[in-house]
Amino acid sequence: MPRPLLFLSTLIALACAQQIITPSSVLNISSCPITYYGKKYEQIYVNSTTENFALCFDGFFKTQTGGDGLVGPAASYVTLHINSKNSKLESQVHQEVPSIKASLKCNLEFFMEYTKATSVSDLEVYIGGIKVTTVYKNTIQDISGCRHSGIAYEPDTVVSADPETCSKLTCSETAVLETIGCGPLERCQGNNTCVVDTTCTVTGPTVINVHGQLNFIKDRCDRCAYSLFSTPSLPDFLVLGNFRDRRRKDVSFLDSVTLRVDGHDIHLEQGGRVQMDDSTLTLSSSSQLVHGVQLSKDQTGVTAKLSLSNLIISVFFDGNTAQILLEGPAGSSVEGLCGNSSRSLSDLRLSEYSSTSCEMQYSETADSTINCTSVTERCNLLKEAHFSSCNTDIDPEPYITACTDTLCKYPAVDGLNCQFLKAYARACSLHNHALDGWTSKTGCSSEAFCQDRTCSDHEFCGEKTVGGDTRCFCRDIFASKYQEINSLGDPTVCMQDSASVTLVGCLLEDKDINYSALHLNDPTCRGQVDELTHMVTFSFNSSNRCGTVVTTNNSYVIYKNTIRSQNYSFDVITRNAQVQIDFSCVHSQPSIHTATFRIRDCSVAQKISCGAWNYTLIIKAYTDAGWAQVVQLNSEVRLNQRIWVELETNGLDGSMVTVVRDSCWATNQASPTSSPRHDLIINGERYSDCANPADLTVAVEENGLGTSTLFSFNIFRFTGGSGEVYLHCKLHLCPKEETSCIPNCNAAARRRRSVGSKYEGEASIGMSWTH
**What is the C-alpha separation between 198 and 314, in angstroms, rounded?**
11
Nearest alpha-carbon partner for 619 in 704, 732, 728, 698: 728
**What is the C-alpha separation between 239 and 348, in angstroms, rounded?**
12
Query: What confidence score (pLDDT) does residue 594 get?
Result: 41
Query: What confidence score (pLDDT) does residue 612 get?
Result: 53
Asked whether the domain spanning 594-735 has the same topology as the one spanning 484-588, the reply is: yes
Q: Could you give the percent of the chain with pLDDT greater than 70?
A: 85
pLDDT surpassing 60 at residue 753: no
The Cβ of residue 19 has, within 10 Å, a number of other Cβ atoms equal to: 12
Tell me the one-letter amino acid at 119. Answer: S
**What is the C-alpha separation between 535 and 486, in angstroms, rounded?**
17
pLDDT surpassing 90 at residue 79: no
Query: What confidence score (pLDDT) does residue 740 get?
Result: 73
pLDDT surpassing 70 at residue 286: yes
**What is the C-alpha separation between 256 and 596, in angstroms, rounded?**
62
Strands lying side by side in the sheet with 613-622: 603-610, 613-622, 642-650, 708-714, 699-702
Eight-state DSSP code of residue 753: H
Query: What confidence score (pLDDT) does residue 686 get?
Result: 47
Query: What confidence score (pLDDT) does residue 343 get?
Result: 81
DSSP-assigned beta bridge partners for residue 753: none
**Residue range 405-433: average pLDDT?**
93
Tell me the one-letter amino acid at 65. Answer: T
User: Domain 594-735 adopts which CATH fold?
Assistant: Immunoglobulin-like (2.60.40)
DSSP per-residue string spanning 76-141 = SEEEEEEEE--HHHHHHHHHH-TT--S-EEEEEEEEEEESSGGG---EEEEETTEEEEEEPTT---
Burial label for 177, CB within 10 Å (0-12, 13-18, 19+), is middle
The Cβ of residue 652 has, within 10 Å, a number of other Cβ atoms equal to: 25
Give the range with max mean pLDDT: 56-60, 523-527, 562-566, 599-603.
523-527
Query: What confidence score (pLDDT) does residue 427 get?
Result: 94
**What is the C-alpha separation between 571 and 578, in angstroms, rounded?**
13
* Residue-wise pLDDT tens digits, 176-223: 899 888 887 788 878 888 888 889 999 999 999 998 999 998 766 678
Cβ atoms of 13 and 150 closer than 8 Å: no
Q: Among 54-63, 64-73, 354-363, 592-601, where is mean pLDDT lowest?
A: 592-601
User: What are the boundaries of each domain within the chain?
Assistant: 6-144, 194-353, 372-471, 484-588, 594-735
Q: What is the dihedral of CA 477, 479, 482, 488, to 10 degrees?
A: 170
Top-level CATH class of 484-588? mainly beta
> Pick the residue with more confidence: 114 or 469?
469
Query: What confidence score (pLDDT) does residue 738 get?
Result: 61
User: What are the C-alpha distances in Å from 699 to residues 351, 478, 597, 711?
Assistant: 70, 61, 22, 6
What is the model's pTM?
0.68
Cβ atoms of 170 and 177 closer than 8 Å: yes
Contacts of 625 by beta carbon, 8 Å cutoff, 6+ apart: 644, 712
Q: Among 206-210, 229-233, 578-582, where is mean pLDDT lowest?
A: 578-582
Cβ atoms of 199 and 427 closer than 8 Å: yes
Eight-state DSSP code of residue 349: B
pLDDT grade for 608, boundaries at 50, 70 and 90:
very low
Query: What confidence score (pLDDT) does residue 601 get?
Result: 34
**Residue range 278-296: average pLDDT?**
93
Q: Is the peptide bond before 163 cis (omega within 30 degrees of 0)?
A: no
pLDDT grade for 115, boundaries at 50, 70 and 90:
low
pLDDT surpassing 80 at residue 279: yes
Q: Among 302-311, 342-351, 368-377, 685-694, where is mean pLDDT lowest?
A: 685-694
**What is the C-alpha separation between 286 and 284, in angstroms, rounded?**
5
